[in-house]
Structure 1
Amino acid sequence: MTTRLREQAEHSFSGGESALIGMLGDRLVSVLRSHNTPSTLYYVCADGETYVVKVEFGRAPTLRDEIRWYRDVARRGLPRSLFITGHAGPGLSFLLLKRFGDGSTVDDLALAGESAGQLGRHAASALDDDIELFHRTERHVGQDHVHQLTERRLAVRRSQAREFPYLRTLMDADVVTMNGAGLPGVSRCLNRLFGDPRLVSYLTPDRVGMTFGDLHCGNILVHEGSTEVVDPRGGHLLPITYDYGKLVQSVEGGYGAIMAGRYVLRRTGKAAYEFAVEAVPGYAGLAALLAARCDERSYLQSLFQAALHFVAMLPHHASAQEETTALFLCGVSLFDKLLALLA
């Protein structure tokens, strides 16, 4: 199977997914797709074991970065136990992984009512691995470099968001009314933060390294007390608060609850909404555990990153308008909390 996938990756893969499914044949167990990622997961069975084949057709920049991340980590002596092989070609790119348990995540456990203590052990294990990777590759680059990374990423995503009329309207709103309270809109918050050199300096680290790059609770897999992280992001070296921000996005921003549809949203006027995300006790406990691992400045840097993550992800979710609006409102809420704490 791996040989055939590699051969197909090196050629123009005609027939698309139907041809791939035909090639996998009776080894194919199931297929998992998501509207917010270009990758498709194919669960296959071979030699009595179940594997995951992650595939993108064509240029596949996201999956190419992920394959490079796994190889870079292995070269640094920190190989990931699920990784088997991967290949990026002109026809398709694929990543072959061992399947880990039944695919349950920290998000799944939290939404099912798991205690904060158990959730905390899994999150801490994933974060400790991330920190070890970061420290092995850490280097000083200066705040200007890190701030430019932030601005470039944000500019790309905001430009992508403006291709959708409803997102353009959301992003341009000066005030967003949520449950009767008027909050400053995203552009207004960003102008306030980026327009003050003291705040930029306070919120910007000066060291970067390799990280998982997407350490939210939906990417932390759990099975019989063990933990694994999937869907790493390749590319730039990043500050560790980038991944702390991913966890804050999960446990304070309600990202996992929104992705599970556990929220209520009703538009009441122009840029006005009634909005509530289900309160999940496990997330509240996990937020306290996470905050205890940070000093005040690193926590605020992580909160800043979490708010930016919500803005940056909007174009990837844009086909699901209600979900994307909910994510936008979570970002507005985190920006409001950040500005209040900085005041």
Structure 2
Amino acid sequence: MPEGTNRRAVYGSYGGPEVLYVEESERPRAGKGELLIRQLASSVNGGDLSIRAGHAKPMAAMITPGWPKSIGMDVVGMIEEIGSGVEGWNVGDLVWGVSTGSNSIAEFVTMKAGSVALAPLNLETKVLGALPVAGTTAMASVGQFANVQPGERVLVRGAAGGVGSAIVQLARARGGRVTALASASTREAVLALGAEEVLDYREAAPEVLPEFDVIIDTVGSDLERFRSRLALGGRFVTITIDFKHPARGVLAVAGSAIHGSARIRQMVSTPGTKQLATLTALVEAGTLRPVIDSVYPLDEIAAAHERAEQHGTVGKIVIEI
């Protein structure tokens, strides 16, 4: 491959996984305050699927204007180049972070120096691709937003997914008594993460569930129905909206504000070095481990998205670069 090029996953139109392909473009350079990262691993996130499919066109146009559009948020790799004004980093450092430019499924990506941290050294590099987005999202939802306390009853929707599997682990680590909603085929895997009880989401209608002190949602639909299961003084946190019906989700969050303590909080978090360093510590301590469904090479990005859209996956689909 000629020097100065960058192979990256892109899509040339909205649609199914088949619109994804790998193109060769110009290698980016580290600007002022930036690091150039030689990518080793990334993953497929739920937001990637929705944006690629065209369910969030305004967001996609804002993040990556023009065509083709890049994709991916998880960054795990080695520092290749250090931009001017950056101190405290060395070429060759293994770092991780979250790309706000949706461009991480590529051989090279630039990141602000304040948006990465040293990655854990106790796990295979490729499996680390499962955690920057999922891990920091789980940390913020369980700690900062829900503030799960020992003994509290916690309901986790979408518990078998990448973020959900991390939420189960962290809620349990804080002493929460976790009830998980997931598919029946993933029950044993979710129990192994620390859930006390795993219910089939297709059978456990909100109306038949008991009350919970904390509800953490990774699905985005039926928010009002699940909010009715909050105990007095409970906290409801959702990390997403239903991209197919965004107005419905926005109205549910906004409308819940009139209910005071039963308010649904929409979680928005952009992790920096401090949050990522905490994530590294949790992984190195064994408190949080990546849950991997499957691993695909960069050239099979379309197949990875196809797998991510299937039912019964457990954890993240990792892209090894």
Report which of the two structures shows the higher radius of gyration computed on alpha carbons: 1
Query: By percentage of residues, which structure has more strand?
Result: 2
Task: Please tell me the TM-score bracket, short chain as reference.
Answer: under 0.3
Structure 2 length normalisation: TM-score? Answer: 0.27
Structure 1 length normalisation: TM-score? Answer: 0.26
